[in-house]
Structure 1
Amino acid sequence: MRRHVPAIRRGDQVSGQHDVWHKRWPLVIAGGVVMGAALGVRHVQGLFLTPVTIDHGWSRETFGLALALQNLLWGVAQPFTGMIADRFGSARVILAGLLVYALGLVVMAYAGTPGVYTLGTGVLVGIGLSGSAFGAVYGALSRLFPAERRSWALGVAGAIGGLGQFCTVPFVQTLMSGIGWVSTLIVLAVVMVVLAPLSAWLRDRPVGPASRLSGEASTQSIGAAIREALSHRGFWLLNFGFFACGFQLAFIAAHMPSYLLDKGLSARNASAALALIALANVIGTYLCGYLGDFLRRKYVLSAIYFIRSAAMAAFFLAPLTPASVYVFSFLMGLIWLGTVPLTNGLVSQVFGVRYIATLFGFVFFGHQLGSFLGVWLGGIVYDATHAYDALWYGAIALGIVAGLLHLPIDDERVARLDHPLAQPA
């Protein structure tokens, strides 16, 4: 006897999609602003390296380890916050994430020892990011928008988030020059608390046995979904590829400001470089999300990694000038976070959106493991050699490997979704 699948009334489905599409801009703006604040503060962590280490008398390895733990714990926490979001909805997770983030910034400001500073920036901010950045926001939007509008929603929210990152750089630089780095962290904590109510706009409904918006009809448990993903070869390839992404971006964001200062450039050049990355990311994230509607996502991802490696090789081997820094920063910005909506879209394309926050959380752990090593090894290598050369070569090599790993990914939707009611992401 065939198993009965609950029917979805077409009128209800169309009505629900129309309602979401009618209020699309408040949804993507809320998601983008939350991500912009969370990722923007993370993006400028490198600006705090010099004043924090000088004021406290700490080594770069100490600062690098704290920031590396932030990336690692963000990744470790992401599958669990994803499970909570899939079970109880993303809005609660985002609200809690922003408040924990704010607490972490306060602890960073008043820390007197490396251990307390690591608790703030490494543990609390890391956990806060897992509830306020990609996983929770993209998971909510993936459920709130129907399949045919999903890439648009992720791309636009990512672009708004990138604009927030861009604005964070001059904002933080101005604050640090005027009131110092300690008071700057307190101001950033207040910003997180003020933005917390935006989580109400991202009140998604976890996908049940019959989802009106996604079109998926499944009684699959979360355990079965995880086992299904872990047995999929493409899921592992995506994890390994995303590892390289995290290594590259975390190393550049955390250590490039100090690298430029060591090479004789000014703090203004370093701040301008981070700002250009964030500005170009606004364009790049939207374009990458847009391309995901027309090209196979795995090929776009592969091209991004190859281009990154070529750009880093040219930047590192060519004479260093302000012009070369700005060209490199703009090019990297165009492909900075464009991997995230593409990767999220690829996961939902293959496995559906019912447990998208959880499954993307597992993929994102690979990204954050790479981020941990990119930041931590940057500090260790610099303290040992007084140079970052080995990290540049490593980042270039990892990008080439990631580009190759994405090519054989099987991006066909799993057989479980091959049902008249199921719709590809």
Structure 2
Amino acid sequence: MKALRSPLAAVLCGGVIVGLALGVRHVQGLFMLPMTGTRGWGREAFALAIALQNLVWGLAQPFTGMIADRWGARRVLAGGCLLYALGLYLMAHAATGVQLALSAGLLVGVALSGTTFSVVYGAISRIVPPQRRGWALGMAGAVGGVGQFAMVPATQQLIGGLGWIAALSVFALVLAFALPLAWPLDDRQDRVPERQPQSMTGAIREALSHKGFWLLNAGFLACGFQLAFIAGHFPAFLVDQGFGPHTGVAALAIIALANVAGTYLCGQLGGLYRRKYVLAGLYLVRSGALLAFALLPASTASVYVFAFVMGLTWLGTVPLTNGLVSQVFGVQYLATLFGFVFVGHQLGGFLGMWLGGAVFDATGSYDAMWLLSALVGLAAAALHWPIDDRAVARLRMA
């Protein structure tokens, strides 16, 4: 029983939950064409539901974080798994755009807020000593990346063999059975003590008065924009360009596999260098890859190279951003404060997913979206550079 409450168990189980939750989200783009074809919808109907999911996820995240900070991450994770399962089951049987928005958008969005970064990373940051925090966050992200990678071929096999409705139903069962994995993430005991405790209201007020907190939030918008657009529209874009469906599946698999190494390395880099500079560098690399892919002729080789580069920077921003928040404000209310930062990420996710569908339906092309994705990445790099990453005065004087 003691082993189940060890830091290593928390890292591994937290990583698996994140991998399952984000893995299902990562492959949503593979459901766009079969679902819209079966239901007779345009792409914007599907894109709007997933965009709503991103927005709900972001808006719910601060409140989910507050619950986790006050009553423990384990309960939030268990409830999130069950709600995710319900949302996927209802998504599989949605007959109208409204039903799809309520299931894939509202329910899954709230569920993601309880099964991903803010809650899991907040718990791990409290369970693991500060000197091991960079490794722990990077390792949890890497484990989650393995889960995302495994979900891509699994989705392809399920859709091809059983159909998309059955595939979503299987995922619902998997999320329901993942509930026991929440047990080791009990951060109510053996927490790393905060040097100078404060109230939750005081912590929120302190963060909202910090200029760097707003810069971090605005910069994180670019991450959500880019990831939602690519994950949601890349497979359909490749089909439009004349590639077979297997190319999109392979590209998503490469992104997920490269993300395993990228997330772990970013966690390590965050322990060696100033996180704000590493984040700025990641956004510059992303923007360069997006511009090159948009301007050069598309080929199978260029698709896979682009997927690999994007995968290396895919979720590496998350442990770095989470680590930066804990570095500046401490870990007592980390899930809450990261939840507020995550609002920016998910606002970007809403815009990236919805605009992708709206722009395509209006122009028949994704060209403008590729260029816009690169521009927001350049803006994010500029926003991260001036962030004051010193611990707040309350902690420096403790």
**TM-score when scaled to structure 2?**
0.98
- Equivalent residue runs for 1:11-410 within 5 Å: 23-205=6-188, 213-410=191-388
Structure-2 separation of matches of 1:403 and 1:363: 16
**Residue 411 of structure 1, aligned match among 382, 389, 392:** 389
Structure-2 separation of matches of 1:213 and 1:151: 17
Residues 302-335 of structure 1: per-residue CA shift (max 9 Å, x gap): 0000000000111111110111000000110000
Residues 56-84 of structure 1: per-residue CA shift (max 9 Å, x gap): 00010000000000000000000000000
Q: Is the Cα contact below 8 Å between 1:40 and 1:165 reproduced in 2?
A: yes
Q: Which consecutive residues of structure 2, in runs of 5 or more, have no partner in the other structure? A: none
Residues 124-165 of structure 1: per-residue CA shift (max 9 Å, x gap): 000000000111110110111111011111000000000000
Residues 12-33 of structure 1: per-residue CA shift (max 9 Å, x gap): xxxxxxx899933222110110
Structure-1 separation of matches of 2:7 and 2:74: 16
Q: Is the Cα contact below 8 Å between 2:152 and 2:252 reproduced in 1?
A: yes
| Other structure's SS at 1:132 match | coil
State which structure, 1 or 2, has the greater radius of gyration over its C-alpha atoms: 1
Structure-1 separation of matches of 2:118 and 2:71: 14
Q: Is the Cα contact below 8 Å between 1:20 and 1:145 reproduced in 2?
A: no
* 1:149 partner letter: R
Deviation at 1:213, TM superposition (A): 4.3
Q: Is the Cα contact below 8 Å between 1:216 and 1:417 reproduced in 2?
A: no
Residues 251-277 of structure 1: per-residue CA shift (max 9 Å, x gap): 000001111000000100000000000
Q: Which consecutive residues of structure 1, in runs of 5 or more, have no partner in the other structure? A: 1-18, 207-211, 421-425
Structure-2 separation of matches of 1:163 and 1:59: 32
Q: Is the Cα contact below 8 Å between 1:244 and 1:402 reproduced in 2?
A: yes
Count residues with an aligned counterpart.
397
Structure 1 pair 150/233, CA: closer, same or farther in 2 (3 Å)? same
Structure-1 separation of matches of 2:100 and 2:6: 41
* 1:77 partner letter: A
Structure-1 separation of matches of 2:324 and 2:197: 22
Structure-1 separation of matches of 2:5 and 2:351: 43
Deviation at 1:418, TM superposition (A): 1.8
Deviation at 1:205, TM superposition (A): 1.3
Structure-2 separation of matches of 1:331 and 1:290: 18
Structure-2 separation of matches of 1:76 and 1:27: 26
Residues 233-287 of structure 1: per-residue CA shift (max 9 Å, x gap): 0000000100011000100000011110000001000000000000000000000
Match of 1:209 in 2: none
Structure-1 separation of matches of 2:77 and 2:341: 19
Structure-2 separation of matches of 1:215 and 1:147: 10
Structure-2 separation of matches of 1:266 and 1:354: 49
| Other structure's SS at 2:178 match | helix
Q: Is the Cα contact below 8 Å between 2:224 and 2:348 reproduced in 1?
A: yes
Q: Is the Cα contact below 8 Å between 1:289 and 1:341 reproduced in 2?
A: yes
Deviation at 1:217, TM superposition (A): 3.4
Structure 1 pair 132/21, CA: closer, same or farther in 2 (3 Å)? closer
Deviation at 1:109, TM superposition (A): 0.7
Residues 324-349 of structure 1: per-residue CA shift (max 9 Å, x gap): 00000011000000000000000000
Structure-1 separation of matches of 2:349 and 2:54: 6
Structure-2 separation of matches of 1:59 and 1:224: 47
Q: Is the Cα contact below 8 Å between 1:90 and 1:137 reproduced in 2?
A: yes
**TM-score when scaled to structure 1?**
0.92
Match of 1:14 in 2: none
